[in-house]
Amino acid sequence: METKRNKLRILNTLIILSLTIAFGSCNGYKQLPYLKNAENLSPEILASMSSVHEPVIMPNDIISITVNSTVPGAANDFNLPMVPNNLSNALQTTVTSSATTGSLQNYLIDKEGKINFPVLGELKLGGMSAKEAQNHITSLIYPRYIAEKPIVNVRFINFGVSVLGEVARPGIYNSANGQMTILDALAAAGDMTIYGKRDNVLLVRVLENGEIAMHRIDMQDKNLVLNKDIFYLQQNDKLYVEPNKAKGNNSNFGTLQTIGLSALSIVISVIAIITR
């Protein structure tokens, strides 16, 4: 009779343990999804996000600026000189424009947001989007220097963000089109690990005036997509995914705890044999 009671106690203990693990797994799953219930956002709210977000030019950015015209030779003086192909690989501030002619030099934005542009001299482009910079340069060239409106193209060369912490592949990731959302950055880094805090991602951003701004981001908040300044990243942003408590507990789980669990397992096995 006593043996049967012991077996029932062990069985009850195992059932309780199983339920605890099951409920813990369910609660753990709830911490994983991004933008929970985002499908409930109204079409009107989502429509407000339809306009394309454009990053602005910042100090230390590298940009390319090309000026073209339908009038032969009219735009030549507004472009930097070409660099031979055999030297372009050694220069970090160049971008290849032709396999035969070489590479066009690019512009490094100084700490005041300015560049020295051919013919026009010193220009302040800091704080402008690429499109605004294009329109500004066009207005300075036409009609004063060129009879027909030129085609001006401004492009970011060094648009990249750093992703650190609990992601599969920490590193610096670049965008060819000068645009990257926070989801794009995490996807490029292989997504967060299961140990990453979804509700407390740190965004470090250097502002145009050189000051550093920090933002805490809840990746599970559906309203994140409505915050353009955070959802769309700026070049040179840093994202840091902090480890959760589970990762911290695992890091403290040393040899003594492992030995203790092994000993406990042996004891439980012995008790199970005795109570048969």
**Domains of the chain, residue spans:** 38-53+159-243, 62-156
* Strand 238-241 versus strand 160-165 pairing type: parallel
pLDDT of residue 216: 95
Kindly provide the residue ranges of all beta strands, DSSP E only, lying in 72-159, ordered along the sequence.
Answer: 82-83, 94-98, 102-105, 107-108, 114-117, 121-124, 151-156
The mean pLDDT value for 94-114 works out to: 66
| Contacting residues for 179 by C-beta, under 8 A, at least 6 apart | 52, 53, 54, 55, 159, 232
**Which two tokens mark 239?**
């994202």
In whole angstroms, how far apart are CA 91 and each of 87, 94, 157, 223, 264?
7, 6, 13, 43, 64
The mean pLDDT value for 159-182 works out to: 92
pLDDT of residue 242: 93
- Residue 210: pLDDT band with limits 50, 70, 90: confident
pLDDT in tens, 12-70: 554 555 445 444 444 444 455 776 666 666 676 666 665 667 888 988 899 999 999 98
Rounded to two decimals, the pTM is: 0.65
Other C-beta atoms lying within 10 Å of the C-beta of residue 238 = 17
CATH hierarchy code of domain 62-156: 3.30.1950.10
- Residue 105: pLDDT band with limits 50, 70, 90: confident
| Contacting residues for 114 by C-beta, under 8 A, at least 6 apart | 122, 123, 124, 125, 126
DSSP 141: H
Does the pLDDT value for residue 121 go beyond 60? yes
Residue 110 C-beta-side C-alpha neighbours within 13 Å = 8
Fold (CATH) for 38-53+159-243: Outer membrane lipoprotein wza fold like (3.10.560)
pLDDT in tens, 232-259: 999 899 999 999 876 555 555 444 455 5
- Residue 225: pLDDT band with limits 50, 70, 90: confident
**Which two tokens mark 253?**
């789980």
Query: What 3-state DSSP class applies to 17?
Result: helix
